Amino acid sequence: MVKNSLGREIPESFNGKAYIPYKDPHSIVPETFHIQRASRILKRNYSGSSKVVGGLREAIIASGLKDGMTISTHHHLRNGDRLLNDLVKEIDALGIRDIRIASSSIHIVHAELIPYIRKGVITALECGVNGPIGEQISKGELECPIVVRSHGGRARSVISGEVPIDVAFLAAPYCDEYGNFNGFYGPSACGSLGYAMVDAQYARKVVAVTDNLVPFPALPFTIAQNIVDIVATVDSLGDPKKIVSSTTKLTKDPMGLQIAKYAAMVIDASGYLKNGFSFQTGTGGISLAVAGHVRDMMRERKIKGSFGCGGITGFFVDMLDEGLFEGLFDVQCFDLKAVESIGRNRKHQEMSAGLYANPFNMGAVVNRLDCAILSATEIDVNFNVNVNTESSGLLLHNTGGHCDVANGAKISIIVCPSIRGRLPMVRDEVTTITTPGETVGVVITERGIAVNNHLPELKAELIRRRAPVKDIHQLRDEIYAVTGAPKPVEFTDKVVGLIEYLDGTIIDTVRTVRA
């Protein structure tokens, strides 16, 4: 074990692979890892005939999937996805074992995979998870080494070949028989295919899986025929109505609204809210309320923004349609209004996860962000943020773009209620570090605003405006005075997962919780 720069104990190797401990937000470069770029063999296909091989089973056979290989899917259908569950069932039926899953994310709906992990069909997860799989792994009830990556970090690991994907099974909502497809139309339309774009470029075999085979050519394509090996048809890819998670509603909670108001004050005081403003929010109720304030200020002052970014909601679509932004960069559609918009509006730009946030290229879109609103499950007095584990110690959430956006944006603003059911959200130490405090600008709770030391001008301006600026230690003390000091959760020494920073270094580990 070695300590990384944040004092977290990191194993030198995990699941047979060596890792480098986290150092700082920006100094790690590709050369650190002696990596260049994944390559895949050149192929020649002189036939113009259909690539449809039949259903999932035929596609698995045709792809040459074998024991010990790595597969991937994308999570654009989020909790409505059926493909990954159906796929693993077929893999099991074919007697294939020891498969690594390197999907872009795994949701609660994929709890169906648990029996296949127990059975040895799946033996490693090269991606973060939401829900019961992570919970059981961190309770020590389920054995499956897991490496949690951010969206940008995952793109990096696939593009660099650190995580070689043998077969990518990509849900293709609007697809032709020769493999052109997009996510805009059809019964399982999910909009942007930003996460799938990376896999389609770099996986050794690419299978387009569709429930909506349309006459050639399926235009406009997001992923084109020249990189697609196989087409498979299924009854249904899933339920796009479940793209919308319960969190994508504007908060009505008065404390949440107070936080949103403070966040708007911070954005206003930042000096970036003028023509050319660029902005990202999450889908949480507070984030959307902040977006509402930003929209109102932009309207009132006749500000024309540059771009909105990230997972895109109908809220951002309305802002684009109203002319408040020049365009939207969309890696993932968070609701059906966004899906509808991306299919009709060329200024609503689909973007790959690599373009969005891969640190190892000539500039990701997150680098151009002025202000970003991010959530947290915990924050410590050094501004480190946890979004992966809950205070119970259980791994319940994937990183998403959290550390990517914080790393890129000029000001990253964490919005979080100060207390959730007696649990203090600002505390001495977070259970897990997802995003290093060095990349966090401001922490906002309903009890006040804490500004990190690297933004002294912003702090002074907020004080001038009589905003409730508090030292983060003072914030913690006020919260502890209400809740009492929490006893830290106890962990065993058994490392069951790694939290990878976007540059590939290891920022923290997940250990099993002591019973």
Contacts of 94 (CB under 8 A, 6+ apart): 57, 60, 61
In a 10 Å sphere around its CB, with 0-12 CB exposed, 13-18 middle and 19+ buried, how is residue 135 labelled?
Answer: buried
Spatial distance between the Cα atoms of 388 and 115, rounded to a whole number of angstroms:
23
Closer residue to another protein, CB minimum distance, 43 or 252: 252
The phi, psi pair for 267, rounded to 5°, reads: -60, -40
Member of 299, 422, 473, 494 binding another protein (CB under 8 A): 422
> Is residue 466 a contact residue for another protein (CB under 8 A)?
yes
Closer residue to another protein, CB minimum distance, 178 or 262: 262
Q: What's the closest the beta carbon of residue 329 comes to another protein, in angstroms?
A: 33
Spatial distance between the Cα atoms of 474 and 325, rounded to a whole number of angstroms:
38
Q: What's the closest the beta carbon of residue 397 comes to another protein, in angstroms?
A: 18
- Contact segment (CB under 8 A) with another protein among 11-19, 69-77, 141-149, 419-427 equals 419-427
Estimate to the nearest angstrom the gap between the alpha carbon of 408 and the chain centroid: 14
Member of 254, 302, 344, 493 binding another protein (CB under 8 A): 254
Contacts of 142 (CB under 8 A, 6+ apart): 114, 117, 118, 133, 136
> Is residue 336 a contact residue for another protein (CB under 8 A)?
no
Closer residue to another protein, CB minimum distance, 256 or 436: 256
Q: Which of 420, 393, 426, 376 is nearest to 508 (CA)?
A: 393
Spatial distance between the Cα atoms of 41 and 412, rounded to a whole number of angstroms:
41
- Contact segment (CB under 8 A) with another protein among 59-67, 168-176, 420-428, 436-444 equals 420-428
Q: What's the closest the beta carbon of residue 484 comes to another protein, in angstroms?
A: 5
Spatial distance between the Cα atoms of 86 and 113, rounded to a whole number of angstroms:
10
Within 305-422, residue ranges assigned H as helices are: 314-321, 336-342, 353-357, 402-408
> Is residue 486 a contact residue for another protein (CB under 8 A)?
yes
Member of 214, 318, 483, 491 binding another protein (CB under 8 A): 483
Closer residue to another protein, CB minimum distance, 120 or 484: 484
> Is residue 465 a contact residue for another protein (CB under 8 A)?
yes
Closer residue to another protein, CB minimum distance, 216 or 480: 480
Give whole-number Cα distances, 444 to 176, 219, 291, 292, 421, in Å: 48, 45, 15, 17, 18
Classify each residue of 302-327 as buried b or exposed e, where b means 16 or more C-beta atoms within 10 Å of its C-beta: ebebbbbbbbbbbbbbebbeeebbeb
Instruction: Return the residues of window 9-48 that contact another protein according to CB under 8 A.
Output: none
Q: Is the peptide bond before 217 cis (omega within 30 degrees of 0)?
A: yes
Closer residue to another protein, CB minimum distance, 215 or 254: 254
Q: Contact, 312 vs 334, CB < 8 A? A: yes
Member of 261, 410, 455, 474 binding another protein (CB under 8 A): 261
Member of 222, 391, 399, 439 binding another protein (CB under 8 A): 391
Give whole-number Cα distances, 267 to 255, 351, 461, in Å: 19, 25, 11
Closer residue to another protein, CB minimum distance, 199 or 378: 378
- Contact segment (CB under 8 A) with another protein among 157-165, 278-286, 294-302, 414-422 equals 414-422
Sequence-ordered strand ranges (E) for 49-179: 52-54, 70-72, 99-101, 122-125, 146-148, 167-171, 174-175
Spatial distance between the Cα atoms of 282 and 248, rounded to a whole number of angstroms:
9
Q: What's the closest the beta carbon of residue 398 comes to another protein, in angstroms?
A: 23
- Contact segment (CB under 8 A) with another protein among 13-21, 67-75, 219-227, 391-399 equals 391-399
Q: What's the closest the beta carbon of residue 491 comes to another protein, in angstroms?
A: 11
Member of 43, 252, 344, 346 binding another protein (CB under 8 A): 252
- Contact segment (CB under 8 A) with another protein among 142-150, 237-245, 436-444, 477-485 equals 477-485
Binding site for another protein (CB under 8 A): 252, 254-255, 257-258, 261, 391-393, 420-423, 446-447, 465-466, 482-484, 486-489
